[in-house]
């Protein structure tokens, strides 16, 4: 009986995806927009920061690295709370009306993803053959030119870092639910919608959205594995 129930829900979910259900399409597109934007912003900040930290010696470097590594495990609900307090009406950004908007969700995911990309960028830079860096310096390369060489040499590992950040963002639920509010056709993304549909008993919709999320996660892991295999 239970197995038939699950099978029926699965086939209903597949049919909803195949028929391009408008709500499923809207939720998926918004998820990609929010997570993609947050990841790109995090990469724009995290990759240069990671390369800079790795290539330079300065006071407090080890402390900064420890802080970054600690922030990688920051609980999403804590990030959601901090962003909520920042963008709520009484917060410093309250006048901008960002609460319960996709922008607030992007901010929350940006905070979550940036430490991941910084840490992985540091590791990617350290893996670059030091002789490449030394050759660039000996040829008179300036700091930004040396960074460009390192970015090129570590490009595959850096792409992997960005994909890892996107995977964290698109699968996150706690922070975006706190600051986004799960408003239909406005701030409802894959993860929050799965929670809601499960609560109200619409299991077919929840399964459909879960399948899409699984496909996204599988695609990300597949690309990462291909990049690592190519690197080897």
* Spatial CA neighbour of 94 closest among 79, 84, 107, 102: 84
Task: Specify the pLDDT at position 114.
Answer: 95
**How many residues would you count in the chain?**
232
- C-beta pairs of 47-50 under 8 Å, 24+ apart in sequence: 47/117, 47/121, 47/151, 47/158, 47/161, 47/162, 48/147, 49/118, 49/121, 50/117, 50/118, 50/119, 50/120, 50/121, 50/122, 50/124, 50/125, 50/161
What is the reported pTM? Answer: 0.89
Q: For residue 10, give both structure tokens.
A: 């699965």
- CB of 146 closer than 8 Å to CB of 161: no
Task: Specify the pLDDT at position 232.
Answer: 58
Could you tell me which residues come within 8 angstroms of residue 181 by beta carbon, excluding any fewer than 6 positions away? 99, 100, 187
Cα separation, 54 vs 76, in Å, equals 27
Cα separation, 111 vs 146, in Å, equals 28
CATH of 2-231, one of 1.10.10.10, 1.25.40.10, 1.10.3720.10, 3.30.450.30: 1.10.3720.10
Task: Specify the pLDDT at position 13.
Answer: 87
Could you tell me which residues come within 8 angstroms of residue 182 by beta carbon, excluding any fewer than 6 positions away? 188, 192, 193, 195, 196
Query: Exposure string (b/e) for 23-51, b if CB count within 10 Å is 16 or more?
Result: bbebbbebbeebbebbbbbbbeebbebbb
Q: For residue 232, give both structure tokens.
A: 């080897």
Q: For residue 74, give both structure tokens.
A: 């920051």
Task: Specify the pLDDT at position 231.
Answer: 62
Kindly give the confidence (pLDDT) of every residue in the chain, 232 residues in length, as a single tens digit, with 9 standing for 90 and above: 455 667 887 888 889 989 989 999 999 999 999 999 999 999 999 999 998 888 888 888 899 999 999 998 889 999 999 999 999 988 899 889 899 999 999 999 999 999 999 999 998 888 877 777 777 777 777 777 777 888 888 888 888 899 999 999 999 888 999 999 888 888 899 999 999 888 888 888 999 999 999 999 888 888 878 877 766 5
Does the CA dihedral 42-216-29-74 come out positive or negative?
negative
* Residue 151 falls in which region: left (phi positive, over 0), alpha (psi -120 to 50) or beta: alpha
């Amino acid at each position: 009986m239970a197995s038939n129930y699950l099978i029926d829900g699965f086939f209903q979910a597949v049919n909803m995806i195949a028929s391009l259900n408008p709500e499923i399409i809207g939720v998926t597109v918004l998820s990609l927009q929010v997570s993609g934007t947050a990841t790109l912003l995090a990469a724009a900040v995290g990759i240069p920061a990671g390369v800079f930290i790795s290539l330079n010696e300065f006071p407090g470097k080890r402390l900064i690295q420890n802080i970054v590594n600690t922030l990688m495990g920051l609980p999403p609900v804590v990030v959601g709370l901090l962003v909520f307090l920042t963008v709520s009406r009484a917060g410093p950004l309250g006048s901008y009306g960002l609460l319960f908007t996709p922008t607030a969700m992007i901010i929350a995911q940006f905070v979550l993803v940036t430490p991941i990309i910084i840490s992985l960028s540091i590791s990617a830079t350290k893996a670059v053959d030091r002789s490449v860096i030394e050759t660039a310096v000996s040829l008179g390369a300036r700091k930004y030119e040396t960074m460009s060489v390192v970015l090129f040499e570590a490009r595959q590992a850096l792409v992997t870092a960005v994909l890892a950040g996107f995977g964290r963002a698109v699968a996150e639920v706690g922070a975006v639910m706190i600051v986004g509010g799960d408003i239909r056709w406005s701030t409802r993304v894959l993860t929050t919608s799965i929670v809601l549909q499960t609560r109200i008993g619409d299991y077919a919709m929840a399964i459909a959205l879960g399948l899409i999320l699984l496909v996204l996660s599988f695609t990300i892991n597949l690309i990462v594995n291909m990049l690592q295999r190519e690197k080897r």
